[in-house]
Chain A
Amino acid sequence: MWVYEKKLLYPVEVKECNPKLARYIAEQYGGADGELAAALRYMNQRYTVPDKVIGVLNDIATEEFSHLEMLATMIYKLTKDATPEQLEEAGLGAHYVNHGHALFYENAGGVPFTTTYIQAKGDPIADLYEDIAAEEKARATYQWIIDISDDAWINDSLKFLRERENVHSLRFREAVEVLKDERDRKKIF
């Protein structure tokens, strides 16, 4: 089970109303390589990996939910008091008609989240390589959002999230090395 902590992993400061940027950030909220996909992918894979690497999947999955909450905070604040006209101008007219000011798990193009974004092959190496790829794709997505954003405060938080992808990618690479050490172990006994 999980216990809620009434704080963010990293401070998120939003100084300007900017629904267009909120729409771009949605890519990491409900997109194919976003934090929801990451959290669900790792949380689900942890059941069928060797015990030695369960902790990596469990703890990174948990951290991804805290990243999701940071992105939600950005989207919420960037759109909170925006008028329907402002939302429409930002390309969120269709979003407003369907969801009002609510957040939704969708990508920057408004495509709703789907579990086909994630994989579970039941083969530890196949799954860990998928996870490494997912981290690198998320890192790249943060790069493109940072490139297109003029908001220094938001970019500060996005840079933190991008760096976390680096660290997670390394931990998954290490998990592969840990499993490689298991080669021929049965013969030793």
Chain B
Amino acid sequence: MDYTFTGSYEPYISPWDPCPPVKVKTFSLPPQLFMNFQPASLPQFSPAEALQHGSLWPALVDGYSKREGIS
């Protein structure tokens, strides 16, 4: 897959903002938004991988993890 499951935008930054500005804010765009109805015969994980990832189908997994440095 050559796309991510993240959107981003650059919020207005005021010279009087009290905290050091985060110049780019990101948000989730999870796979179900682009699928809407799952097609048949998608590739599958093994049972062990499926439990690990939380889905039988890699195409439904976007793997969120802790974002460092954003408060």
Q: Does B65 contact A (CB under 8 A)?
A: yes
**Number of A-B contacts defined by CB within 8 Å:** 66
> Interface majority SS on B: helix, strand, loop or mixed?
loop
CA distance A143 to B63 in the complex (A): 11
Q: CB distance A140 to B28 under 8 Å?
A: yes
Range of interface residues on chain A? 20 to 34
Tell me which residues across on chain B come within 8 A of A166, comparing CB atoms.
Answer: 30-32, 54-55, 60-62
Tell me which residues across on chain B come within 8 A of A16, comparing CB atoms.
Answer: none
CA distance A113 to B56 in the complex (A): 33
Tell me which residues across on chain A come within 8 A of B66, comparing CB atoms.
Answer: 146-147, 149, 155
Q: Does B13 contact A (CB under 8 A)?
A: no
CA distance A139 to B27 in the complex (A): 12
Range of interface residues on chain B? 20 to 34
CA distance A170 to B63 in the complex (A): 16
Interface of chain A residues 122 through 173 with chain B (CB within 8 A): 136, 139-140, 142-143, 146-147, 149, 155, 159-164, 166-167, 169-170, 173
Tell me which residues across on chain A come within 8 A of B32, comparing CB atoms.
Answer: 166-167, 169-170, 173
Tell me which residues across on chain B come within 8 A of A169, comparing CB atoms.
Answer: 30, 32
Known: A139-B30, A146-B64, A159-B64. A177 touches B54 (CB 8 A): no
Interface of chain A residues 15 through 66 with chain B (CB within 8 A): none
Tell me which residues across on chain A come within 8 A of B67, comparing CB atoms.
Answer: 147
- What 1/0 mask marks residues of chain B from 15 to 53 whose CB sits below 8 Å from any chain A CB? 000000000000010111001111000000000000111
